[in-house]
Amino acid sequence: MTAGPLRRRLVGFMLLPAIAAVSPLIVLPLISREAGPGGWASAIAGESIGTFAAIVVGYGWPAIGPALISIASGIDERARLYRESLVVRLLLAAVSIPVLGVVCWLVASPGAEWLTVLMGVQGALIALSFTWYCAGVGQPRTIIFYDAVPRVVATAASAAAIAATGIVELYPLAGIAVTLVGTGLFTARLLRRHPGPWPGTRDLPGLLRTGLPVALNDAALSAYSSVPAPLVNVTAAPDAAAGFASADKMFKLGSVLPFTLASALQSWVGEVTGPARGRRVRVALLAHTGFGLLGGAVLAALGHWVSLVLFGADAAAGVDLLIAMGLVFMFLSIRTSMTRHALFPAGQAAVVMRASLIATAVGVPVMIALAIAIGPLGAALGYAVTEGAATLLLWRPCAAAVRALDAADAAHLLDRNREHHDD
């Protein structure tokens, strides 16, 4: 792929989806003020719980799906993969979302129960989205049409409605509607054009076994990313929890950007083999490293002022929290490229899973202990330690996977030379 098409793909995958990702900034300032410190902290806690539920529902498909789609042999195989993913995700959603509702209700501050539950459901249903499929086939326009533009419009409409009525629950309801309607329309179009058999009951155990390593990896990652906000909400005073909620929300909004960058590069990396793919993986890793450094620095330097303007003095994020979250952002950006561009396509899902489980086993206790000892800053520092450990544990396997691309191509050339010599 030449530089021109790559630039267009980067713009297509990052510009409008990124705008959609940060569009909640239109409405979140209203929620933080209407709901008060306790309601605001509860809303972000519910969203974090929803993020963990989304990992359970997604069962690894948003992470490994783009790589599988990008290397699939044809459109029929891609449609088969999508049908399999849909059956698994709908089944897990039916089991997980009722449990999510109970947990969100229990952690909510008095009076914020329904807001917390709906924020959780909105976060969980993102796992049903189709966007990972579009990343695998390199079709950003589909995401823009079915998800990004409707999400921006719905967010703006919910902001106007909240300003008029004060009903903050309208925001998560709008997000839920966009996910269900957009995904439903895309799915109907894709499967109508490319029909095929659906997985049966006998196929489910095999599908669940196949996706288990990636699902466990994502669950471990989500476990430590979902712990801080609910942990702070139950261990800190409402004002302190509100400041942490703002820092966490700003980080989560920004963290969408490394994933959109990874999606933009996914099919570009996967469409070649051997040293060419190795070079592209190195470019992707370098881009994600620079992006992580830049994003972390911006979050640390400007985050306090932005949170003060957006969420008000009662919910402004402290600079110390934002520096810690900046470190988390940097590690997250690097790790995203390592897994999606190098390790998952190389069949190293089990390696990724082990690293995530080890980091979680070490980091979550540190996070809890520091939160109890020094408050919200401790939770943020524990988060940074955990994300950093997950990234560093993958460094050597990632380097080996990239070297293997060169070695495989060299072996292929050697075999060809031998065949030529024998002839």
As a whole number, mean pLDDT of residues 309-315 equals 80
Looking at 15-24, 124-133, 264-273, 410-419, which range is the least confident one?
410-419
CA distance 193 to 385: 47
**Is residue 75 predicted with pLDDT exceeding 60?**
yes
Query: Using one digit for the tens of pLDDT, what is the confidence trace for 41-60?
Result: 888 889 888 988 998 898 88
Mean pLDDT, range 346-350, rounded to an integer: 83
Lowest mean pLDDT among 59-73, 118-132, 168-182, 334-348: 59-73
| pLDDT over threshold 50, residue 419 | no
When the pLDDT of each residue in the chain is averaged and rounded to a whole number, the result is 84
- Average pLDDT (243-255) is 84
Mean pLDDT of 390-406: 91
Most confident of 104-108, 205-209, 242-246: 104-108
- Cα distance between residue 197 and residue 215, in whole Å: 24
pLDDT exceeds 90 at position 217: no
Residue 317: the pLDDT is 86
